Amino acid sequence: MNYLLALIPAIGWGIMPLITGKIGGSTINQMFGIGAGATIVGLVAFIIGHPTVTTTGFWFSVLCGALWTIGQIGQFVSFKRMGVSNTIPLSTVFQLVGNSLIGVIIFGEWRGARALTIGFIALAIVIVGALMTSVSDESTGKKITVQNFFFLLITTIGYWVYSAFPKMPMVANDSSLGIFLPEMLGILLGSVIYAICSGNIDSFKQKEQYLNIWGGISWGIAALAYIFAGRALGINTAFVFTQMNVIIATIGGILVLHEHKTRREMSFTIAGIIFIVAGSILTIFA
């Protein structure tokens, strides 16, 4: 049951870039839409569940949510620079490596030689698969340049904080529902601060700002499921499992957003997806 729960983030996070890509708008529009849509999900969950949260847990959750916006801003900017079908696999690699190291070093997951061996073999398989899906020929449009590579890597720090968030000691005694709404409020706060500091106040007058809320609702449902899955399965297993979203986002980028790939690129993409699925399933045995 917990593994089925971990698939919800894979679906929600895989659909989100397709929704925002189809709606369009600026990075500001998309960021606000994610923050507002996720907050709506948080409010509904709070009203239904009536959870409690400590003061420390509340403000720490807000902070983690605000830091998450760094990672998402980096991803949205990269969508425009490299395309969804190139960005998502590369982002997956960065997140997997960082979160796996955090899970092993800080939270002591994958204990024992057997678990560590299986875990890192599974991680390596997923990384190889993600890299294969990002193979691109010189003839295609949007490219993975050195500048784009390091920009995405640096902004991924925000994602690392978010992914480790469910098991941090500051929120260990708070319920999953209790920490969810303040975290979503932090994301909304971060997106508003980004809009103001970047001098884009006029974005609040644009319809794309609000249409992108649909993408935020998809993301919010996935984020809620991830908090429960992260606590039930551990950071490493839950996160690797949820990164099967790369399948939906990559194929969707090609079919829905019409991002062009050559025959060679498609061959690598299909092979990469097979590696990602195999590696994700293998983590169950770690």
| 193 backbone dihedrals φ, ψ, rounded to 5° | -60, -40
In this structure, are residues 65 and 186 in contact, taking their beta carbons and an 8 Å threshold? Answer: yes
| Residue whose C-alpha is closest to residue 156's, from 84, 273, 67 | 67
pLDDT in tens, 163-179: 787 778 888 788 888 98
* Separation between Cα atoms, residue 213 and residue 254, nearest integer Å: 23
pLDDT for the residue numbered 265: 85
Task: Give CA torsion, residues 179, 41, 283, 232, to 10 deg.
Answer: 40
Token pair, residue 162, equals 């978010």
- Mean pLDDT across 187-199: 92
Q: For 13-27, write each residue's pLDDT tens digit.
A: 889 989 998 998 998
For position 218, what pLDDT does the model report? Answer: 95
Distance of CA 138 to the CA centre of its chain: 28
Confidence of residue 100 (pLDDT cuts 50, 70, 90): confident
Q: How far apart are CA 208 and CA 202, in angstroms?
A: 12
Mean pLDDT of the chain: 86
pLDDT band at 138 (very low <50, low <70, confident <90, very high): low
- pLDDT for position 139: 54
Counting residues of the chain whose pLDDT is more than 90, the rounded percentage is 35
- The region of weakest confidence among 55-64, 157-166, 189-198, 208-217 is 157-166
Q: Characterize 196-205 residue by residue with b for buried, 16 or more Cβ atoms within 10 angstroms of its Cβ, and e for exposed.
A: eeeebeebee
Rounded-to-integer distance, Cα 56 and Cα 33, Å:
27
Instruction: Kindly report, residue by residue over 25-39, the tens digit of the pLDDT.
Output: 998 999 999 999 999
* Percent of all residues in the chain with a pLDDT value above 70, rounded to a whole number: 97
pLDDT exceeds 90 at position 95: no
- The position carrying tokens 């998402």 is 72
Residue 262: domain span: 1-284
CA-CA distance, 77 to 26, in Å (whole number)?
9
What is the total count of domains within the chain? 1
So what's the pLDDT on residue 142?
A: 65
pLDDT at 140 over 70: no
Q: Residue type for 276, please?
A: I
Burial code (b: 16+ CB inside 10 Å, e: under 16) for 160-183 equals: bbbbbbbbbebbeebebbbbbbbb
Is pLDDT above 90 for 238?
A: no
Report pLDDT for 185.
96
The model's pLDDT over 264-277, given as tens digits with 9 standing for 90+, comes to 888 998 898 889 88
- Assigned token pair, 49: 């569940």
Q: What pLDDT is recorded for position 191? A: 93
Once rounded to an integer, what is the mean pLDDT over residues 57-77? Answer: 91
